[in-house]
């Protein structure tokens, strides 16, 4: 369970002051609740997310003054542009009996036949997908089996297998993964290879001619003796 403490809203300087104490500022909202600014120990947040199963999991939140904890999901996270450390995050309070929309990551599974057999180039065209489900049915990620993908094949949202309780959102024609033809040599590379081959042939011809001249000179010297 994530225990939070209320905080005063005071702009960027206030948020920095919170972070200097080893805490992360955030806001809890949703389910008819007025936005509640809070702070939480960064270590406690890491432990809670680890126990819950990741950032897309349902989190029990102990709100100051509330008799019972509420359920929430992390709706947004702001990271430092250089250090990649968490600066601020939003919690969305949810009801377990109402569907919500969330963005989850896409994980490719298997080795595409077009890559394994024919040397094709695999492209993951999308790394996340938006879904709708009950909070308790939200997956940590969506697995995409690419084993059967051949050269020129692709997987779109409309190709995803149905899963009970989950609706995939977005354009059904959105491409998620594809395999393209292996890249051949460019015209410049082919010209360079041809030039190198011609130079090698010319060098070999000169070497052969030189060996013939040497043999001829050696034979003439023997006759003179």
Q: What is the mean pLDDT of the chain?
A: 86
In this prediction, residue 4 carries a pLDDT of 93
**Of the candidates 5, 7, 136, 134, the residue with the CA atom closest to the CA atom of residue 61:** 5
Q: State pLDDT tens for residues 43-55.
A: 888 888 888 777 7
- List the beta bridge partners of residue 30: 33
* Rounded Cα distance, 68 and 144, in Å: 38
> How open is the CA angle 70-61-105, to the nearest 5 degrees?
95
* Rounded Cα distance, 116 and 146, in Å: 11
Contacts (Cβ under 8 Å, ≥6 apart) of 17: 10
* Rounded Cα distance, 20 and 100, in Å: 34
Instruction: Over range 64-86, report the average pLDDT.
Output: 89
Cβ burial of 94 (10 Å; 0-12, 13-18, 19+) is: buried
- Split at pLDDT 50, 70, 90, the class of 147 is very high
Confirm if 101 and 56 have CB atoms less than 8 A apart.
no
In this prediction, residue 99 carries a pLDDT of 94
Instruction: Over range 154-175, report the average pLDDT.
Output: 95
Distance separating the N- and C-terminal Cα atoms of the chain: 107
In this prediction, residue 183 carries a pLDDT of 80
* Rounded Cα distance, 147 and 64, in Å: 50
Higher pLDDT, 25 or 14: 25
In this prediction, residue 220 carries a pLDDT of 52
In this prediction, residue 206 carries a pLDDT of 72
* Rounded Cα distance, 123 and 222, in Å: 71
Contacts (Cβ under 8 Å, ≥6 apart) of 162: none
Q: State pLDDT tens for residues 206-219.
A: 777 666 555 555 55
In this prediction, residue 193 carries a pLDDT of 75
Cα→Cα distances 95→60, 76, 121, 138, 199, Å: 12, 18, 43, 13, 75
In this prediction, residue 121 carries a pLDDT of 95
Residue 134 has pLDDT above 80, yes or no: yes
Q: State pLDDT tens for residues 94-117.
A: 999 999 998 899 999 999 999 999
In this prediction, residue 225 carries a pLDDT of 54
Contacts (Cβ under 8 Å, ≥6 apart) of 220: none
* Rounded Cα distance, 156 and 171, in Å: 9
Residue 184 has pLDDT above 90, yes or no: no
Confidence (pTM): 0.68
């Amino acid at each position: 369970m994530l225990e939070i403490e209320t905080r005063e809203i005071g702009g960027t300087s206030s948020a920095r002051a919170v972070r200097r104490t080893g805490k992360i500022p955030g806001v809890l909202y949703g389910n008819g609740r007025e936005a509640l600014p809070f702070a939480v120990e960064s270590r406690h947040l890491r432990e809670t997310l680890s126990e819950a199963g990741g950032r897309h999991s349902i989190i029990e939140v102990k709100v100051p003054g509330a008799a019972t904890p509420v359920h929430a999901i992390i709706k947004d996270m702001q990271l430092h542009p250089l250090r990649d450390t968490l600066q601020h995050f939003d919690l969305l309070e949810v009801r377990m009996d109402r569907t919500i929309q969330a963005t989850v990551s896409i994980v490719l599974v298997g080795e595409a036949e077009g890559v394994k057999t024919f040397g094709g180039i695999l492209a993951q065209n999308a790394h996340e997908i938006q879904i709708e489900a009950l909070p308790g049915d939200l997956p940590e990620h969506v697995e995409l089996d690419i084993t059967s993908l051949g050269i020129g094949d692709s997987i779109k949202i409309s190709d995803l297998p149905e899963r009970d309780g989950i609706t995939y959102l977005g354009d059904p024609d959105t491409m998620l993964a594809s395999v393209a033809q292996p890249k051949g040599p460019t015209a410049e590379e082919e010209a360079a290879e041809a030039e190198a081959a011609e130079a090698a042939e010319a060098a070999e011809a000169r070497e052969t001619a030189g060996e013939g001249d040497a043999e001829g000179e050696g034979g003439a010297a023997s006759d003179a003796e």
